[in-house]
Amino acid sequence: MKMGMIGLGKMGGNMVLRLTRGGQEVIGYDRSEDSVALIEKQGAKGARTVDELIAALGEPGSRAVWVMVPSGKITQSVIDDLAGRLAPGDIVVDGGNSNFKDTMRRAEELGAKGIHMVDVGTSGGVWGLSEGYAMMVGGTEEAVARMRPVLEVLAPAPTQGWGRMGPSGSGH
């Protein structure tokens, strides 16, 4: 699966590497050039702008962008920006520690534009790269099914360490 990752800090950057090593095509973006350069040195693809990231993801309606930034205003700002750039059928994944009420509101706002919202409560820290991440996933069955190849690679095993908990908000 081809996916974008916004936020290449310790967890986001390591998630990109785990996904790349697991055969997924990931394009990573971060405001820090050093973070982008680091994932590129390790075999992943980097983008210097959000527009470049989205353009690299392919056809509108089939794209997925995972947001791995600190919860709160930063997450809201990134998701608002993506809402104006993505198309119906695309997916936004919030993998941070957002409040489930914010996630439910964001899912409703994105849904009005035909954009899917998936929320993933992600645990694993810096050990996730080698051990895998534990993930509680919220979102529609359709959107989660589309994200399944990514979730299976990020998890400790394809059928262990992750699961869909219910609609958007359930993962947070």
Identify whether 103 is part of a domain: yes
Whether residue 171 lies inside any domain: the answer is no
For 127-166, the three-class secondary structure string (H helix, E strand, C coil) is HHHHHCCEEEEECCHHHHHHHHHHHHHHCCECCECEEEEE
Overall number of domains in the chain: 1
* CATH code for the domain of 150: 3.40.50.720
The rounded percent of the chain whose pLDDT value lies above 70 is 100
Runs of H (alpha helix) within 22-116: 33-41, 50-56, 73-85, 100-111
Residue 31 in any domain: the answer is: yes
Say whether pLDDT at 29 is over 90. yes
Residue entry with tokens 């908000």: 169
Task: Give the pLDDT of residue 33.
Answer: 95
pLDDT at 96 (0 to 100): 86
pTM of the predicted structure, to 2 decimals: 0.95
- Give tens-digit pLDDT for 46-75: 999 999 999 999 999 999 999 999 888 999
**Per-chain mean pLDDT for the chain:** 95
Classify residue 114 by its DSSP letter.
Answer: T
Flag whether 62 is in a domain. yes
Residue 136 lies in a domain: yes
**What residue numbers bound the domain in which 111 lies?**
2-166
Residue 51 lies in a domain: yes
For residue 117, is it within any domain? yes
Residue 41 and residue 145: Cα distance in Å, rounded?
31
Most confident of 68-77, 97-106, 140-149: 140-149
Examine residue 95 and state whether it is found in any structural domain, yes or no.
yes
